[in-house]
Amino acid sequence: MKIHLGLIAYIEPYYRQSKISPGFYGAKAFAKKMLYNALAEIEKLNKTE
């Protein structure tokens, strides 16, 4: 679920903001952090098994 939300958050700025708006790159950076954290959680779960 977290990966799904991260992917939506990563793609959404392309449709809702222009590339020259200040929030565009901030939203992409936030989405990258969200995806990184979700993948880190999955990796952590795989190591414990």
Q: 30: domain range?
A: 2-48
Domain count within the chain: 1
Residue 35's pLDDT is: 95
What is the spatial distance between Cα 2 and Cα 6, in angstroms, rounded to a whole number? 6
Give the tens place of pLDDT for each residue, 1-49. Answer: 999 999 999 998 888 888 888 889 989 999 999 999 999 999 998 887 6
Residue 37's pLDDT is: 95
6: Cβ contacts below 8 Å, ≥ 6 apart: 31, 34, 35, 38
* Alpha-carbon separation of residue 22 from 1, 10, 14, 37 (angstroms): 28, 15, 13, 24
